[in-house]
């Protein structure tokens, strides 16, 4: 069985979708969910779906090897960042394969501070005619690793950051689990 560890900071709709997708999968499972925010809804979602849910502090992530050791012990094959808002220390990228989802067409609208609704607000403010999602491997540079998959959606004049967020959400639900599956099965 290939094992996934999910890191998330917020609501966790992607984490939940990934957990459900791999629930009865023949060769891939979600081992655990990890959040830097104790009150993040993602932890409740995971528990509700009978997946281990853990909290860690920002200092633990940066200054200790607790998480690294947990992932080694659990023999994690892939770390999935699903709305994870801290910078992942390089030691993780050196030892594990890490994949991230970004709610825009990288390299546009990437980098520090570009997450969640801030991305959609910037895209709408610039009157872009399309946006989308980017699923990419994580390397040492923020929002920079190899792109595995992109999908686009059109933006019309009536769109708001909220309506764009809904279009992006649909793309994420459709494509993130499948891209993870292809990566782990060696076909991405």
> Which of 18, 43, 79, 82 touches ligand GAR by CB under 6 A?
82
Does residue 71 touch ligand GAR according to CB under 6 A? no
Q: Is 79 in the site for ligand GAR (CB under 6 A)?
A: no
The three-point CA angle 155-157-161 to 5° equals: 60
Find, among 32, 43, 49, 37, the residue nearest to 9 by Cα.
37
Bridge partner list, 99:
80, 137
Of 36, 15, 142, nearest to 90 (Cα)? 142
| Torsion angle (degrees, nearest 10) of CA 158, 160, 162, 168 | 80
Is residue 102 flagged as an active site residue?
A: yes
Contact between 34 and ligand GAR by CB under 6 A: the answer reads no
Q: Interface with ligand GAR includes 11 (CB under 6 A)?
A: yes
Number of residues that bind ligand GAR (CB under 6 A): 17
| Closest residue to ligand GAR using C-beta atoms | 83
CB of 36 to ligand GAR, least distance (A): 13
3-state secondary structure of 113: coil
Residues of this chain that bind ligand GAR (CB under 6 A): 8, 10-15, 82-83, 101-103, 115-116, 119, 168, 172
């Amino acid at each position: 069985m290939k094992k996934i560890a999910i890191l998330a900071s917020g609501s966790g709709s992607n984490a939940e979708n990934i957990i459900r997708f791999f629930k009865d999968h023949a060769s891939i499972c979600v081992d655990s969910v990890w959040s830097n925010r104790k009150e993040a809804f993602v932890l409740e979602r995971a528990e509700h779906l009978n997946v281990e849910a853990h909290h860690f502090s920002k200092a633990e992530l940066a200054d200790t090897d607790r998480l690294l050791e947990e992932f080694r012990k659990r023999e994690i094959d892939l770390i999935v960042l699903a709305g994870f808002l801290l910078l992942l220390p390089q030691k993780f990228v050196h030892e594990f394969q890490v994949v991230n989802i970004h709610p825009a067409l990288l390299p546009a609208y990437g980098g520090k501070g570009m997450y969640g609704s801030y991305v959609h607000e910037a895209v709408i403010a610039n009157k872009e005619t399309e946006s989308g999602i980017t699923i990419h491997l994580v390397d040492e540079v923020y929002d920079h690793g190899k792109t595995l998959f992109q999908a686009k959606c059109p933006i019309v004049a009536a769109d708001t950051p909220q309506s764009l967020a809904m279009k992006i959400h649909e793309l994420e639900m459709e494509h993130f689990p499948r891209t993870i599956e292809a990566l782990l099965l060696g076909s991405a």
